[in-house]
Amino acid sequence: MSNFTKEDIQYYANFARIDMPDAEAEKFATRLDTLLEFSDRLKELDTTNVEPMTHPLAIVNVLREDTPEDILDRDEMLKSVEDHEDGLIKVPNILD
């Protein structure tokens, strides 16, 4: 059984900002079908009245004073940036 069409894959790829040509989309459709079929096993279980687990430990947030710490060096950080000017990151046109 096939769950995902090429168009489905392209629809979700767009949310994740992944370029998805037709041939690639067909390949990923098959792979995601396999994963989704695997997840069908979870439907065997009755999960009504089960609380979803969002975190492995029951811990409370630890807060601290909002004082700046671990300030990183801007010049060091800009070394990994492709294009920058006056300490600001440059990107191409946002709109065509």
Partner 1 sequence: MVVNKTASELQSLLHSRELSVKELTEATLQTIEEKDKTIQAFLTVTGPEALAAAEQLDNLPDEKRGSLFGMPIGIKDNIITQGIKTTCASKMLENFVPVYEGTATERVKDSGMVVVGKLNMDEFAMGSTTEHSAFQITRNPWNLDRVPGGSSGGSAAAVAAGEVLFSLGSDTGGSVRQPAAFCGVVGMKPTYGRVSRSGLVAFGSSLDQIGPITTTVEDNAMLLSAIAGADYRDASASEKPVPDFRNALTGDIKGLKIAVPARYLGEGVQPEVREAVQKAIGVLESLGAHVDEVDLHYSRYAAPTYYVISSAEASSNLARFDGIRYGYHPADAKNLNEIYLRSRSEGFGEEVLKRVLYGTYALSAGHHEDLYERAQKVRTLIAQDFQNVFKEYDVIVGPTSATNAYKLGETIKDPLTLYANDLLTTPVNLAGIPAISVPCGFAEGLPVGLQIIGNHFEEAMLYKVAHAYEQATEFHKQTPPAGEGN
Note the residues at the interface with partner 1 (CB under 8 A). Answer: 9, 12-13, 15-20, 28, 31-32, 34-35, 38-45, 47, 50-57, 59, 61-62, 64, 69-70, 72-73, 76-77, 79-82, 89, 91-96
Residue whose token pair is 């300030």? 71
Give least dist CB 22 to partner 1, A: 14
Give least dist CB 15 to partner 1, A: 5
Q: How far apart are CA 18 and CA 26, in angstroms?
A: 14
The residues with which 19 forms a beta bridge, in sequence order, are none
Give least dist CB 56 to partner 1, A: 2
Q: Which is nearer to partner 1, 1 or 45 (CB)?
A: 45
Phi then psi for residue 37, to 5 deg, are -65, -40
25 within 8 A of 13, measured Cβ to Cβ: yes
In this structure, what DSSP letter does residue 64 have? -
Give least dist CB 63 to partner 1, A: 8
